[in-house]
Amino acid sequence: MCRKVAILGAGSWATALAVLLANKGLRVAVWSRRAQLAEEINNKRENMRYLPGVNLSGEIKFTDNMEEVLSGAGYVVFSVPSFAFRDVLREALPHLPAGSAIINGAKGLELDTLLRLSEVFYQEAGPGKFEYVVLSGPSHAEEVSRGIPTAVVCAGYSEEYAAAAQDLFMTENFRVYTSSDVRGVELGGALKNIIALGTGISEGLGYGDNTTAALMTRGLAEITRLGVTMGANPSTFAGLAGVGDLIVTCTSRHSRNRRAGIEIGKGKSLQEALAIVKMVVEGVRTTSAARRLADLHGVEMPITEQIYLVLYDDLSPREAVINLMNRDRRNELESNLG
């Protein structure tokens, strides 16, 4: 195994992965777009902006020099917001070491094109030059960085490279499974953020566990409907990248999407909620992208539709709940399929 890993991005998840890898004795170089942030983290040995309270070892170096970060790296981990993925990739491509494994930890869809991030990657990098693996599953940075037991999945088109990513990240506290269903893993990781916004809105309205359970269960059904229609393996949505990630994102105090939803449920505007969270809330863009994908593929996604109307058309959250509760009567097993 190459002893150097490059990480592009300096947010909470990038920092948590850097901690995990450095604890395995690897050299970790982390790229930050902002030189001031990189200098601050190097000096204080703590990412106070995105992951406060976690000590960073001397094996982790932050810099805004991308060429330096990528030089000699055997693995390159992308950990930037989905909306920035294409631009960062374009900047990185001239410096990516030949034969390096590309591992993407972002969970989202490209809003303008509706592409999954693997599709964005191969559109920019071309076929055959690099192997792409996606890392997903229920894995909040705040817990991974502190060694709390976690299980995730690495999905790749190449079994060899998925296994290599598995070996890279696997520790006694971080269990990694492999998968060949890149499509399903990417869609599960992206779409669960929409449902987490919904459970947060429900909590902000003062509703209880019954409502949360209903949203999560029916949300998983519509995620699976869209995913299978788009060619994903239905079993993926019963696994870590599906129901696993859905549970943690919909219920955890660490979830940005849930926190934003809570503020919206309490009456804040979308922009006010985002200002309170202060970090990227992937579910906002994903809601818009998923609604368009549902229309494109003729898939019914009622929860996504109502959340879109709340976020973008000023529908009141209580009215959205009424709309969902008063839909036509359905058979549950039949409605799971379409």
Q: Which amino acid is at 332?
A: E
pLDDT (average), residues 178-184: 98
pLDDT (average), residues 111-119: 97
103 and 211 co-located in one domain:
no
pLDDT (average), residues 15-39: 97
Q: Which sequence positions are flagged as catalytic?
A: 192
- What is the total residue count of the chain? 338
252 and 176 co-located in one domain:
no
Residue 1 has pLDDT above 70, yes or no: no
Decide which of 134, 158, 180 is a domain's last residue.
Answer: 180
Determine what percent of the chain is predicted with pLDDT higher than 70: 99
In whole angstroms, what is the distance from residue 116 CA to residue 157 CA? 14
Total domain count, the chain:
2
200 and 326 co-located in one domain:
yes
Place of tokens 């034969």: 99
In whole angstroms, what is the distance from residue 194 CA to residue 211 CA? 15
3-state secondary structure of 277: helix
Q: What is the CATH number of the domain that holds 277?
A: 1.10.1040.10
30-34, 79-83, 124-128, 223-227: range with lowest mean pLDDT: 124-128
Alpha carbon 338 to its chain's center: 26
Q: Considering just the CA atoms, what is the radius of gyration of the chain in Å?
A: 20
Model confidence at 334, pLDDT cuts 50, 70, 90, reads confident
Residue 338 has pLDDT above 60, yes or no: no
More confident residue, 111 or 97: 111
242 and 316 co-located in one domain:
yes
DSSP structure string for 90-150 = HHHGGGPPTTPEEEE----B-TTT--BHHHHHHHHH-TTS-EEEEEESS--HHHHTTT--E
- Are 310 and 132 spatial neighbours (Cβ–Cβ below 8 Å)? no
Range of the domain at 235: 184-337
Q: What is the CATH number of the domain that holds 99?
A: 3.40.50.720
156 and 25 co-located in one domain:
yes
Global confidence as pTM: 0.95
pLDDT in tens, 146-177: 999 999 999 999 999 999 999 999 999 999 99
134 and 68 co-located in one domain:
yes
pLDDT in tens, 100-113: 889 999 999 999 99
